[in-house]
Amino acid sequence: MRPRTVRLAAVLVLGALPVLAGCGGQGGLVSDGPAEAAVGPVRLWPELPPASDPPVDYGETDTERVPGITVRGADVRTVDPVAVVRAEVAAHPDTYTGADGLYAETSRAVLACDTAPAKCPVLSPYYRDLTGNGRDELIVGIRMPEQQVAVRVYLAEDGGLTRIMSTVDQVVSVELAGHDLIVRAASAGIPGYEYRTAWSWDERQHSMLPARDEIVPVRGGATRSPRTTTRSPRTAPGSPRAVSPGSPRTTPASPRTAPPEPTS
């Protein structure tokens, strides 16, 4: 370093000293003492071998083209949500489990929506850009027995409609937050708590995934009385849903083998 540069640097440092001293004397930053050492994650049982078999496929990434539905101008508002659900029922008339599954009485009511609109289980649709493509997706709710609601999301692409999400819960509420769809569901086994699942678009899987799945206290601290049901309220009809990493929930319930028939 040249002598002139050294002298200039010394002048700048000396000139700054009064300013620093003034800050220290007038309520400036004060040390709280030494910081605690950061503790990183600790891996338990590192000697365990990696899993050799993939986990059970619960079908979150299952998507399906809705047969016979044409979408004009990639605008989901041009399609009838009842016609969409009816097309899926017609394509899977005897399916009671998985993403396509509905109770038998629900399927019959969907097919009869034109003649018995008051009993039609398809709720009013909502529209929201959940994929970030700049266009709205179609969000459909279907009332089911045992206070359950099927929630399905459809994406307009290639002149048709693709279902990118399907789930069933004993729904407390369904909310929209940004590009996420949040389902709050009753907890039958833990009074005073509810399940909250945030479904988010995943470009690689080309579907909505349960990105965050939690058990949280009921707002206001109210206690929810557990109900006795024929199957777990946290599963799609007969098909248990996977739990995202970190969720405190345990193994899902066994699938239902046959749909209940309506009672007189």
Residues 187-227 pLDDT 10s: 878 889 999 999 999 999 999 999 999 999 987 655 444 34
Instruction: Classify residue 184: in a domain, yes or no.
Output: yes
Instruction: Classify residue 53: in a domain, yes or no.
Output: no
Q: Identify the residue whose tokens are 């709205």.
A: 136
- Nearest to 64, CA basis, from 162, 130, 209, 154: 162
Instruction: Classify residue 263: in a domain, yes or no.
Output: no
User: Mean pLDDT over residues 66-91, rounded?
Assistant: 95
The residue segments making up the domain with residue 194 are: 64-236
Residue 238 contacts residue 58 (beta carbons within 8 Å): no
Predicted local distance difference test score (pLDDT) of residue 206: 95
| Residue of 223 and 163 predicted with greater confidence | 163
Domain count, the chain: 1
Predicted local distance difference test score (pLDDT) of residue 26: 63
Predicted local distance difference test score (pLDDT) of residue 262: 40
Predicted local distance difference test score (pLDDT) of residue 62: 75
Instruction: Classify residue 32: in a domain, yes or no.
Output: no
| Sign of the dihedral defined by the CA atoms of residues 170, 256, 215, 225, in that order | positive
Predicted local distance difference test score (pLDDT) of residue 219: 72
Instruction: Classify residue 222: in a domain, yes or no.
Output: yes
Residue 181 contacts residue 189 (beta carbons within 8 Å): no
Q: Is 244 left (phi over 0), alpha (psi -120 to 50) or beta?
A: beta
Mind listing the pLDDT tens digit for each residue in 43-58? 999 999 988 877 666 5
| Residue of 241 and 190 predicted with greater confidence | 190
Instruction: Classify residue 52: in a domain, yes or no.
Output: no
Lowest mean pLDDT among 128-137, 193-202, 248-257: 248-257
Residue 195 contacts residue 172 (beta carbons within 8 Å): no
Predicted local distance difference test score (pLDDT) of residue 93: 78
Q: Cα–Cα distance between 131 and 181 in angstroms, integer?
A: 11
Predicted local distance difference test score (pLDDT) of residue 236: 41
Q: Cα–Cα distance between 148 and 237 in angstroms, integer?
A: 10
Q: How many other C-beta atoms lie within 10 A of the C-beta of residue 55?
A: 7
CA distances from 120 to 51, 85, 93 (A): 46, 11, 17
Predicted local distance difference test score (pLDDT) of residue 92: 82
Per cent of the chain over pLDDT 90 is 51
User: Mean pLDDT over residues 150-168, rounded?
Assistant: 96
Predicted local distance difference test score (pLDDT) of residue 178: 95
Instruction: Classify residue 177: in a domain, yes or no.
Output: yes
Per-residue pLDDT band for 13 (boundaries 50, 70, 90) equals: very low
| Biggest distance spanned by C-alpha atoms of the chain | 101
| Residue of 53 and 74 predicted with greater confidence | 74
Instruction: Classify residue 124: in a domain, yes or no.
Output: yes
Per-residue pLDDT band for 247 (boundaries 50, 70, 90) equals: very low
